[in-house]
């Protein structure tokens, strides 16, 4: 039995297999519509979510399975003081697989250590979000036809953005990726993630100036400033609009730039960009359902 807590638990061959499977599901959805008949997914969400929870639930329904769970800690026995370990043991009595989101780093790992069914980390604090990373990799592959030889810009809150940390770790295993890290000084990439780049001798630049690096980017991965992780509201208000992508900012961008964002967006991408053919963030949302279908099949060992 296998869980997924960190994207690095999947090697590049397995990631390619998941991407291939997701592409086959997209091309042949009927073939997969009964694969999880009789199986149940438990979505245990202790923190708000729209895309991750709904895409997991849609994924299981489209595989012919069923879904149970809760969408906030207050409606579970966590509100009465139940531990993560006991919640995981209890859920193992009712479901076949768990998707868990939690504000505390490491909570899904504790669940996996205590559950008797696979646990998928659906986002833990500022730490990891492996299924968003699979979504991002599928999107990059579908847009660019490759996962190597790319210049990838990450812009915004690189300190607290768990999707950034997971995607940098994942991309660090592919050939000739150049990382361009754009953020205010206070929201720079944490040193433990930068260590991965240094350890693997990967090329990266850090800057506060998005416009100066725009022409070289193949991918621009915008992120929201994570209000919920700030200790001080004043700092959030000062930093929240550090980067706003407006149409004129794209004048120097490549014609085939892929603009990505894990969403939710607050103010960092103007809605006028949505109709630009380079905007990929709603394609990402849809890809998230297909890659989660592929992952559920893998972890449930469904042929």
The catalytic residues are 51-52, 80, 101, 129
Report d(CA 295, CA 17) in Å as an integer: 10
- Is 16:148 a contact under the CB 8 Å cutoff? no
Please identify which residue in 264, 266, 272, 274 interacts with ligand CP, judged by CB under 6 A. Answer: 264
Report d(CA 83, CA 278) in Å as an integer: 45
Cβ-based nearer residue to ligand CP, 76 or 121: 121
Cβ-based nearer residue to ligand CP, 120 or 213: 120
Q: At its nearest, how many Å lie between ligand CP and the CB of residue 225? A: 14
Q: At its nearest, how many Å lie between ligand CP and the CB of residue 45? A: 9
> In angstroms, what CA-CA distances link 239 with 3, 147, 167, 231?
36, 32, 23, 13
Instruction: Give just the sign of the alpha carbon dihedral 12, 15, 17, 19.
Output: negative
Report d(CA 13, CA 26) in Å as an integer: 20
Verify binding: residue 166, ligand CP, rule CB under 6 A.
no
Cβ-based nearer residue to ligand CP, 213 or 225: 225
Q: At its nearest, how many Å lie between ligand CP and the CB of residue 295? A: 15
Verify binding: residue 123, ligand CP, rule CB under 6 A.
yes
List the beta bridge partners of residue 154.
181, 221
Verify binding: residue 263, ligand CP, rule CB under 6 A.
yes
Q: At its nearest, how many Å lie between ligand CP and the CB of residue 162? A: 9
The interface mask with ligand CP, positions 56-95, x = CB under 6 A, is ----------------------------------------
Q: List CB contacts of 112: < 8 A, sequence separation 6 or more.
A: 3, 5, 88, 118, 119
Cβ-based nearer residue to ligand CP, 178 or 265: 265
Verify binding: residue 252, ligand CP, rule CB under 6 A.
no
Verify binding: residue 52, ligand CP, rule CB under 6 A.
yes
Verify binding: residue 50, ligand CP, rule CB under 6 A.
yes
Please identify which residue in 226, 262, 273, 281 interacts with ligand CP, judged by CB under 6 A. Answer: 262
In angstroms, how far is the first alpha carbon of the chain from the final one? 15
Window of 107-115, 228-236, 247-255, 259-267 that interacts with ligand CP by CB under 6 A = 259-267
Length of the chain: 303
b/e code 12-50 from CB counts within 10 Å (16+ = b): eeebeebbebbbebbeeeeebeebbeebbbbbbbbbebe
Q: At its nearest, how many Å lie between ligand CP and the CB of residue 128? A: 11
Please identify which residue in 16, 24, 33, 51 interacts with ligand CP, judged by CB under 6 A. Answer: 51
Verify binding: residue 130, ligand CP, rule CB under 6 A.
no
The interface mask with ligand CP, positions 272-301, x = CB under 6 A, is ------------------------------
Residues 189 to 228 in contact with ligand CP, rule: CB under 6 A: none
Closest of 214, 43, 25, 31 to residue 138, by C-alpha: 25
Site residues (vs ligand CP, CB under 6 A): 49-52, 123, 132, 262-264
């Amino acid at each position: 039995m296998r869980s997924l807590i960190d994207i690095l638990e999947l090697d590049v061959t397995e990631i390619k297999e998941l991407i291939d499977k997701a592409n086959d599901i997209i091309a042949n959805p009927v073939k997969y519509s009964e694969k999880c008949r009789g199986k149940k997914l438990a979505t245990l969400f202790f923190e708000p979510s729209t895309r991750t929870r709904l895409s997991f639930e849609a994924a299981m329904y489209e595989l012919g399975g069923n879904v149970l769970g809760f969408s906030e800690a207050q409606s579970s026995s966590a509100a009465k003081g139940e531990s993560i370990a006991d919640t995981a043991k209890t859920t193992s009595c009712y479901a076949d697989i768990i998707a868990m989101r939690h504000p505390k780093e490491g909570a899904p790992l504790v669940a996996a250590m205590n559950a008797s069914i696979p646990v998928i980390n659906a986002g833990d604090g500022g730490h990891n979000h492996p299924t968003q990373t699979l979504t991002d990799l599928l999107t990059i592959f579908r847009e660019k036809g490759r996962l190597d030889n790319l210049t990838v810009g990450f812009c915004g809150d690189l300190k607290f953005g768990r999707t950034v940390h997971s995607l940098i770790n994942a991309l660090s295993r592919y050939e000739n990726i150049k990382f361009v890290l754009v953020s205010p000084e206070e929201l720079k990439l944490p040193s433990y993630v930068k260590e991965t780049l240094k350890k693997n001798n990967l090329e990266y630049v850090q800057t506060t100036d998005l416009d100066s690096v725009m022409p070289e980017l193949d991918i621009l991965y915008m992120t929201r400033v994570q209000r919920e992780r700030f200790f001080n509201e004043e700092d959030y208000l000062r930093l929240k609009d550090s980067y706003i992508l407006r149409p004129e900012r794209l004048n120097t961008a490549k014609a085939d730039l892929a603009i990505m964002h894990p969403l939710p967006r607050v103010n960092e991408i103007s809605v006028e960009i949505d109709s630009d053919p380079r905007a990929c963030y709603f394609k990402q949302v849809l890809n998230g359902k297909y890659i989660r279908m592929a992952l559920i099949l893998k972890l449930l060992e469904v042929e």
